[in-house]
A and B are shown apart, each in its own frame.
Chain A
Amino acid sequence: MGQFVQFTLNGLLAGTIYALIAVGIVSVYKATRVVNFAHGYMIMFGAYFYYTFAVLLPGLELMPSWLAKWEPDWLIAARENAPMFSPMGAVLDWVSNLPRIIFGITGAVIACAILGRMIERMLMRPMIGQSSFAMIMITVGLISVLSGAKGLIWTADAAFVPHIAPNAPVRFELFGNPVFLFGADLANAAIAVILFTAIVLWVRYSKGGVAIRATAEDQQTAYSMGISVPAVFGRAWVLAAATGAIAGAILATRNGVSPSLGLFGFSVLAIVLMGGLDSYVGVFIAALMVGFLEAMAQWQLGGEWAEVVPYIAVLIVILIRPHGLLGQKEVERI
């Protein structure tokens, strides 16, 4: 029972990260009716951008030294007083990394947003009005381009990046079971949930969000109501890329920076289809479900089973409910 609670919590925390990745795919789909197969590789770029801005650039000679390691007097004094391996020590480590974490996240979000904008302008906008098959296949081609470009730009594999939040161990009791979690995982999950909620609320209530929903409903009508559809497309791609950058940074701290981050995109694609392509809530449920099932598979069957869980789950779900858990059924007229 104790193990069950522990694995469930781990799974749910991982599930929130999936939800954060999925939000990018859903946003682009809602606005443009294109499923971005290359989203995982945009996330990989986010991770590498974070690595560049948080590790590579601060390590350069010409950068101010406080960027790589910020050590004001009070911090050094506090560290000397703190006992070894205490939560306080982890927090102090985090504080000294804070400048480069902020620099890294900002840099990754901006760089990734520019990347998303470029993809939208150069590849997607010329295709407006073409069949969605062609647009989807372009994102499939983008997989190879991005994964190759990564190989040209960054040659290092599996490098270490600083955690976004203090990585202090957290121990507490849940239903009488001792639970052990990492502070960074909790913080990551909190960031993911907050961002996810913020985007859902933004799409629901803000002017820009309403424009996205109107475009999703009917492009022609949206156009004639004065909504600039190309601008909506651009906004959706930038939104997806920016959330992807944060998700990439989080994944980089969890799994290390490596090209295999791109494969996450495919399992998240499976999650998105499971939840229903156009439903944020459905996708969130599906993400938590897959996170939970993966943790269970890892616990009972071993680590290698965890990676096929999303694919098996999506096959079962779309055989029973072809449009996902909460997806809207497409009405087709002949």
Chain B
Amino acid sequence: MINGNLKATYAADEQVLNNAYKRAFVYGMALLCAALPFVANDYIILVAAQMGIILIAVVGVNVVIGYTGLLSLGHAAFIAIGAYSIPILHTLFASLGVPEGIMPFLAIPLAVAISALVGIVVGLPSLRVKGLYLAVATLSANFIVIFLIELDAMAPYTGGFNGINTPEANLLGWQLDTQREMFALIAALAFVTILGVQNLFRTRVGRAFIAIRERDYSAEVLGISLLRYKLLSFAISAACCGLAGALFAYFYARILPEQFELVLSLQLVAALIVGGMGRTMGPVFGVIIVVMVPELLKYSFGIIAGGSADVAALRAPVQEIVFGALIIIFLMFEPLGITQIVDRGFRSLNRWPFARG
């Protein structure tokens, strides 16, 4: 709770950024992201771009798990579809003679749309089954999508096991051939996604999602069509993941099917749980942790190991353990995630020096 947050008009109450803290934070972050490409070194840009891509995906996962309460363990499949759409669409456009400068403007929306459609198909079981059954249904979808990508019959389009080279984005003649330029695009789209989703939860649709999360049968009694809103929720989250996938394909020179396996789905869920489910800032905090943990491990192993290959080989298992432990520790001790810890901090700051807690 934030006190001193009085509103004099309805318009003020309905704003997306409805208090000074949010405004300050969002404008501050926007300034920081705008300044970053000019001041940061390559390493920081790389990490920040990775964060941006995963952030877009986790925001999508948040819609379906955090707000609609449908447990999904297969969202890496949508990222895969978004990512693989890009090289396929680019070859298609090239054969149709579309100029290269406007390809991304067509390819990104199409990739997002394809992901959303697949999302609707994967979401279909959510009408019949709930909770666990849905988790396994989405998990199955993830395995099936990866299998189809690796299938020999699809190899001419997807490259099969060996992956496929991805094109660079060319925005009206501006070739985004460095990671710094890609970062600008990723940051802009990440802001759009996160504000768009935040905006969604001021509307009828977002409230319907939350009603379904609280009790789906009660929501249905209140006149919310479960069919429409559950599928819509899946479509929106799949669209976000598709966008993340499309940016992933533009950002890296090559994509491999193994990058989109269960590990990635679990990473998305880990980020969401660590950050805080059903909160706008949850994905942001979660993604910072999930991306920073491997980097910190890399750094600390570099110091410990020096150059020894034996110690360095232990980094991957340790990283896995840390991810799992993060999920478990947060679920056991702070199920509402970092957002809750931050909230608590802000609350005591806000009331200082009077009450605590």
Residues of chain A touching chain B, judged by Cβ–Cβ distance below 8 Å, are 35, 123, 126-127, 130, 132-134, 136-138, 140-152, 155, 266, 269-270, 273, 277, 304, 307-308, 310-312, 314-315, 318-319, 322-323, 332, 334
Contact = CB atoms under 8 A, between A and B. Distances in A.
A314 B266 CA distance: 21
Nearest to A310: B140
Contacts of B215: 334
Contact of B327 (A138, A266, A270, A332): A138
A148 B269 CA distance: 18
A142 B329 CA distance: 11
B135 A318 contact: no
Contact of A137 (B125, B273, B316): B273
Given A315-B125, A334-B221, A138 B318 contact: no
B204 interface: no
Contact of A136 (B124, B135, B147, B322): B135
Contacts of A266: 139, 143, 262
Contact of A144 (B135, B320, B335): B320
B144 A312 contact: yes
Contacts of A35: 132
Chain B interface size, as a band, is 35 or more
A137 B326 CA distance: 11
Interface string B308-332: 0000011011111111111110011
Interface in B258-282: 262, 266, 269-270, 273
Q: What are the 8 A-B residue pairs with the smallest beta carbon separation, nearest first?
A: A151-B317, A144-B324, A148-B320, A141-B327, A145-B324, A311-B140, A148-B321, A141-B328
B325 A304 contact: no
A148 B137 contact: no
A132 B71 CA distance: 12
Per DSSP, chain B at the interface is: helix
A314 B218 contact: no
Given A141-B270, A145-B324, A312-B144, A136 B132 contact: yes
Nearest to B69: A133
A168 B95 CA distance: 59
Contacts of B135: 136
14 contacts: A134-B335, A137-B269, A144-B324, A145-B328, A148-B319, A148-B323, A152-B317, A270-B140, A277-B132, A307-B147, A312-B140, A315-B140, A318-B128, A334-B221
B265 to A, nearest CB: 10
Given A134-B335, A140-B327, A266-B143, A152 B133 contact: no
A130 B184 CA distance: 43
A322 B143 contact: no
A334 B218 contact: yes
Nearest to B73: A140
Given A123-B328, A144-B327, A311-B139, 10 more contacts: A134-B335, A140-B269, A148-B316, A148-B318, A151-B317, A269-B136, A307-B147, A311-B143, A334-B217, A334-B221
Given A133-B131, A140-B266, A322-B128, A147 B147 contact: no
Contacts of A138: 327-328, 331-332
Residue of A35, A146, A318 contacting most chain B CB atoms (<10 Å) = A318
B71 to A, nearest CB: 7
A310 B141 CA distance: 11
B151 interface: yes
A144 B321 contact: yes
Residue of A132, A141, A151 contacting most chain B CB atoms (<10 Å) = A141
A287 to B, nearest CB: 15
Contacts of A147: 317, 320
A66 B215 CA distance: 63
B113 to A, nearest CB: 23
Contacts of A312: 140, 144
B129 interface: yes
Contacts of B270: 141, 144
